Amino acid sequence: MTEETPGFEEKPDVPSDAASPEDAAQEAESADTAGSAPAGDVPDVALQAQLDQVRSALNERTADLQRLQAEYQNYRRRVERDRVAVKEIASANLLSELLPVLDDVGRAREHGELVGGFKSVAESLETVVAKLGLQQFGKEGEPFDPTIHEALMHSYAPDVTETTCVAILQPGYRIGERTIRPARVAVAEPQPGAQSAKSASDEDAKASDEESGGPEEG
């Protein structure tokens, strides 16, 4: 009969390499993490599709903004052109009423009557209309242009080779590219037959040069 020692109980033998409950829990958590890692590497198709949709919408909105900006720039240019055109029309209408006065000033200057206070007023008027963009044109000796000249007199002259303005009866006026009044002129055309005679004379001179410069016969 064996005697038991008081205060001591027998315990089952535990292997020395057995894991504690804490170690077992950590191993289980690591296993779960290791098992779920490959699933995170797989692309999310739904998220990618949503991203593509957002990018497509962004491109559409960007194109709309660019188109709207282009339309606004075209609108600004049209408004500016219309503003300039309205200004030119208003100035042309006003200055057209002053052309007879300017004609009187020009005739007075030609006759030496532009003196005293009348001269100062006339020069001030010419300065004002010049600031408004009024330009005078038309000179003797320039070729006749039906788009800016109005022929009131016609003649022939032996010393011209084309239709030429030989006298300015009334000067023309323009604002920018807009002609307010064409220059009224007297024109002269080449004398009929003068060109033919000149051509014949040139041919005779050429033939004479060829004969004099040709080889001599032996």
Identify whether the C-beta of residue 135 lies closer than 8 Å to the C-beta of residue 126. Answer: no
Q: Which of 5-9, 89-93, 111-115, 137-141 has the lowest mean pLDDT?
A: 5-9
Q: Is the pLDDT of residue 124 over 80?
A: yes
What confidence tier does 1 reach under pLDDT thresholds 50, 70, 90?
A: very low
In angstroms, rounded to a whole number, what is the distance separating the alpha carbons of residues 144 and 68? 49
Identify whether the C-beta of residue 157 lies closer than 8 Å to the C-beta of residue 191. Answer: yes
Give 58's contacts (C-beta < 8 A, 6+ positions apart). Answer: none
Residue closest to 172 by CA, chosen among 184, 187, 163: 184
* pTM score, whole prediction: 0.55
Identify whether the C-beta of residue 87 lies closer than 8 Å to the C-beta of residue 176. Answer: no
**What does the pLDDT average to over 33-53?**
68
CATH of domain 135-208: 2.30.22.10
The conformation of residue 117, written as its DSSP 8-state character, comes to: H
- pLDDT per residue as tens digits for the range 186-209: 999 998 866 555 555 566 666 666
Phi (first) and psi of residue 166, to 5 degrees:
-100, -10
Domain borders along the chain are 52-132, 135-208
